[in-house]
Structure formats: structure tokens, C-alpha cells
Structure 1
Amino acid sequence: MGSEQLTVVSFNVNGIRAARRRGFDSWLAERSPDVVGLQELRCPPEEVGEFDGYTASFDTGSIPGRNGVAILTKSPPTAVRTWVTDPPKARGLREYASHGRYIEVDLSDEPVTVACLYLPKGGLPADLQRPGNIREKPDGGAKHLRKMTFLSGFARELDRNRLAARRAGREFLLIGDLNIAHLEHDVTNWRPARKMEGFLPMEREWLGEQLSPRRLIDVVRVLHGDRPGPLTWWSWAGESFTKDVGWRIDHQLASPGLAARARWTEVDKEPSPDVRLSDHAPLVVGYDRAG
């Protein structure tokens, strides 16, 4: 798209080693984005590897085979912050500080702070759990409660980081797998999804509270318009991918100044199931650079 634009990707790779075996590096070279936020690296730090033409900033976390986030940038960032180097101040997040769920970089070639988040998937509240109708063993709503506690703390942390960027003269961009679909347009079969984790009323309400014209803007929804899609996740199972039955749980939420420069969005969905890099597809947005 040319150097006059800043191309940003959010991509849950569902294991960077597996994604690279499936062709991630070829996709990266062909797309050639300026910034790539990755979630679910799912590997130890020594196995993240190098990415030709990019500086990789990452936090793989302390839980083997789980979580892990990274931001790849064509130009080395001027600063990198993780919850290990800069622990979250909000209550409810401290137990996650070593889990590899959040990383933030200050771009060196653009006055923008980019944050990458892998938000907990969560579970169902106790009143929606019925043995036989959920995949996992009933837990009395424990995973759901942990997710809601995380959301409460992260809302405060997000405000703090967004305002810190503004004070430093920077725009702010949160990208990542938020494990929440916001609107009916974001889920193919939205009616039954209302009783599924990721589309519960309280989760959708939380995401809506983070969005406003003066705070953060869902640039993908603005660019795509008030219509179904775009989808970014499809189950590995069945024919979800082929029939395009999926969810948009991957997001790019921009501060107002940056959102005003968002020009186009694409989802790099592969042409067939056998060449999928992940159960997610890269979510790409092109922004005009600061004048």
C-alpha cells in the first residue's frame, strides 16, 4: 500500500511454531505489514525465532505451551513494556502479570503506542452450565468470574495506558484477540451465541464501555460498515471455515486521531481449509501516516 501508510496486523497464530510450519513466513513476506501483533505464541522464549526484516518484541509468559504475545516492527521500537517489566497497577491483573498476555511498544517511525492483548477466553456463568451441553466440565462459573475480574481490572489499566500515550504526544492502538464479539454483525449465528462465552451480555457490555468517540474506536467496524462481518475466527471442526460460519473476536481499537486516519481493512482468510495458518486469520488495517 506504500510507505505513506502504516499497515497493522493482529493475528492469533495458535502456536507460532505450528503457524511457521504452515507458511507464516511466506504470508509475512508477501503482506509485508509495518506492525504485526501476535497472540498465542505458545512456546518458550528461545523458540520464538527471528523474523526476516522485523524486530520481535515478545513476552512468552511462564505457563508452558500457553499464551504468549509479540509485536513485530520493521523499525526497532523506542520502548517496550510488558507486565513483567511494568507490572499492571489495577487489582485483578496481578496474577496474570507473568502469563504473557500483554505487550506494548512505542513505534520509532510514527507517534503511536501499539498494545497487543490476548484476553482470557473465560467460560460460562454457573446458571448457563448444564452437564452435556458444554464442552468442558462444569466449574460453577469459576472461569467466567476470572474473566470478568480481568475485564474490570483491564478497563482501568487500558485507561491508564491510553492516557499515558496521549500525554507523551502519541496515539494509542489496542490490537489482539479479545475473545469477545461485540455486535450481532460480529457472529454468524448470533442468536444461539448469546449463551456462549465471548458473546454474553456482560462481555459485550464491557467492550462497548471501552468504545466512544473520545476514547477508543472500533476502526474495523467503522471501515466495514453496519453489515455482517468481517469474521476472523472459524472453528477447526466441521465445515465452519468453508461455509464462513465464524466470529470476529480479533480487534483493532484506535484513539480518535489514529482512527480518523484508518483507510481500509482486510482479513487474510486463506482460500481453503488445508492451507490455514491458524484457526484465526490476520486482521489488517491500513492507516495514513501522521502528516
Structure 2
Amino acid sequence: MRRIGTHNVNGIRAALRRGFRPFWDSAEADVIALQEVRCRVADLPLDAFDGYHVTLDTGQLAGRNGVAILTRTPPTRIRSLTTTVTSIAQGDEPRSIDSERVVGRDLAAFADEGRYLEVDLADAPVRVASLYLPKGAAWPHELGTEEKYRRKMRFMRGLARTLVASRRDAAADGRELLVMGDFNIAHTRQDLRNWRSNQKSEGFLPEEREWFGSVTGPRTMVDVVRSLNPDADGPYSWWSWRGQAFTNDAGWRIDYHLATPRLAKAATSAFVGRESTYDERISDHSPVVVDYDTSTLAA
């Protein structure tokens, strides 16, 4: 059994102060994908990663973005949008290492932003990815936002191609693919509480939802948490800091596990680590954790 989770931490240093380690120590996850690490390598709080090997792409935008994957053992292969990432072995200082580059015309423009990272696990036939998809904008419903809107659409086009290529490459290597992270898209009405008032909002635009449907399906990439909770509203993973959104559970489900079908079938349970109160929140996102019986993948 492997416990695997994803968490947009909205800044690793702030998350550490707010209870990042107590949650993950209790969860006892084998693999953790992080998004919005938002920290220079020189300023990383290394105690946040005790017990794990860290592969990290911080990007070059100071104080923004950054994705990481925490594993119990060093990965056997690393791929990202850039050629150099940061590795932190247990008990060691960070060091730069080479990464294979995920090639794609549309994603090349995002190479310095720390948005996508893949590793091959050493102890299971699985390739794991951490994704932070741009938030985008509600153009044309919101004036002056066309550039942000088109950047997100461009990233989505490139990511769709990457998911196909990575899935096929992983299969050729005898591996399943698991892509986790903040997609900044609620796919269906079940995935946000106030869907009626958000039909012209970024993250729930018709074209975003259509794209999400195009990259998922029973033969390609399965939305694991939805497959385990087919009739539920939510479980939500993001709530605004403002107002009473968290208290009233007026959330969005935008943090996903997308897995190849065989791995999705190995999922036995899932939960969102929603904090008990507003004051206990680690981030504006809560962790999304799935247990996978990877022993079924051995044959």
C-alpha cells in the first residue's frame, strides 16, 4: 500500500508555521506532491522535509510558484520543464542536478516558472508528477485580462500533449502515471458549491471544463477522487481566505489525482485533510490524499 498526497501549500515557510509537519507526520504519506512552494533554494526550511528525499523546481520567479515531490527513496528518473532542478537528500544540503526536459512548444514559455515536475519512484512502478496550472482569468467577461486568459489556454494545450506523451513513455517503461496538483479548474457542478454564480469565473469557464474532460477518460487519465466518490458534491479542496467561504464549506475541488486506469483501479480510499477551523488552516488549499494498493501493479 502506498499513501500519496498533494498539497498546494501557498508558501512552504508559512505552511510550516501553520502546521504542515503535524498534518503530514500524522498522514504518514509515502509520496507528497507540493505546489506553490514559493521559496528560493537558499531560504528553504529544510526541517519541513525531514524523512523525505526532495526533488524541487523552484522556478525563477521570486516568491512565486515552485513544485516539489517528496519521496521516501531517491527517484530513478526526473523530468521537468527545465534542465536543472534541486535535489535534497535526507540530511543533506540542497544541490542542483540535471533533469530531462519535457519538450513542447506551448510549455517552453513556462520553463522558468516552476509549474511541472515528474519523477519515477524507486519502490513502485509509478511515475508521479506535480502540477501547478496557471489560474488564468475570466476574459472576455472581465476586461483587461485577455493575456492571463490566453497564457492559461496555452499551458493547457501544451499540458494535454505532455500528458499523452508521458503516459505512453511511462507505459513503455512498465510504469503507471499519476499527475497530482492544483489544476485551477473545477470540472463539473459537483466540484464547486456556488456553481450558478461562477459560470463566468476563471476556473469554471466552459472551455476550461471542456479541456479537463478532454484529458480525462476511462482509457486515458482517471479522476481518482471522483471515481471513489461518484455522487458526492466535492470533496472540496480550496476555499477563499475571504468571508465565510471556509466556515460555510463554499469551496472548489481544483486539486486532483489523475491516474492511468490501472493505477486508478488500485486506489482504495481517499480523503481531503480539511482543517477543523479557519484558524487551523495550513493553506487556502487542503491536502488531497489517496491510498493505492500498488501490489496489484506488480504483475
Q: TM-score, normalised by structure 2?
A: 0.91
Q: How does 1:251-266 map to 2 (within 5 A)?
A: 251-266=256-271
Unaligned stretches of 5+ residues in structure 1:
130-137
The equivalent position to 2:188 in structure 1, one of 176, 183, 186, is 183
Instruction: Give the equivalent residue in structure 1 for 2:66.
Output: 68
Instruction: Give the equivalent residue in structure 1 for 2:29.
Output: 33
Q: Is the 8 A contact 1:45 1:59 kept in 2?
A: no
Name the SS for the 1:172 alignment partner.
strand
Aligned-partner residue type, residue 21 of structure 1: R
The alpha carbon displacement at 1:224 in A equals 1.2
Identity of aligned residues (%): 50
Is 1:88 matched with 2:86? no
Is 1:208 matched with 2:202? no
The alpha carbon displacement at 1:140 in A equals 4.7
Is 1:233 matched with 2:242? no
Is 1:123 matched with 2:137? yes
Count of residue correspondences: 278
Q: Deviations over 1:21-70 (max 9, x none)?
A: 11111112111101100000011012233311111110000000000000
Q: Deviations over 1:101-151 (max 9, x none)?
A: 01111001100000110000000122x12xxxxxxxx32511111111111
The equivalent position to 1:111 in structure 2, one of 125, 133, 146, is 125
Q: How does 1:144-183 map to 2 (within 5 A)?
A: 144-183=149-188
Name the SS for the 1:26 alignment partner.
helix
Q: Is the 8 A contact 1:41 1:48 kept in 2?
A: no
Q: TM-score, normalised by structure 1?
A: 0.93
The equivalent position to 1:49 in structure 2, one of 42, 45, 52, is 45
Q: Deviations over 1:144-175 (max 9, x none)?
A: 11111111111111111111000000000000
Name the SS for the 2:5 alignment partner.
strand
The CA distance in 1 between the partners of 2:62 and 2:246, in whole Å, is: 29
Aligned-partner residue type, residue 194 of structure 2: N
Instruction: Give the equivalent residue in structure 2 for 1:23.
Output: 19
Q: Deviations over 1:174-200 (max 9, x none)?
A: 000000010100000111111100000
Q: Is the 8 A contact 2:192 2:252 kept in 1?
A: yes
The CA distance in 1 between the partners of 2:265 and 2:232, in whole Å, is: 20
The CA distance in 1 between the partners of 2:145 and 2:180, in whole Å, is: 31
Q: Is the 8 A contact 1:7 1:34 kept in 2?
A: yes
Question: What RMSD, in angstroms, separates the aligned Cα atoms of the two structures?
Answer: 1.0
Name the SS for the 2:291 alignment partner.
strand
Unaligned stretches of 5+ residues in structure 2:
84-99
Name the SS for the 1:41 alignment partner.
coil
The CA distance in 2 between the partners of 1:115 and 1:63, in whole Å, is: 21
Name the SS for the 1:271 alignment partner.
coil
Q: Is the 8 A contact 2:65 2:115 kept in 1?
A: yes
Aligned-partner residue type, residue 170 of structure 1: R
Q: Is the 8 A contact 1:69 1:103 kept in 2?
A: yes
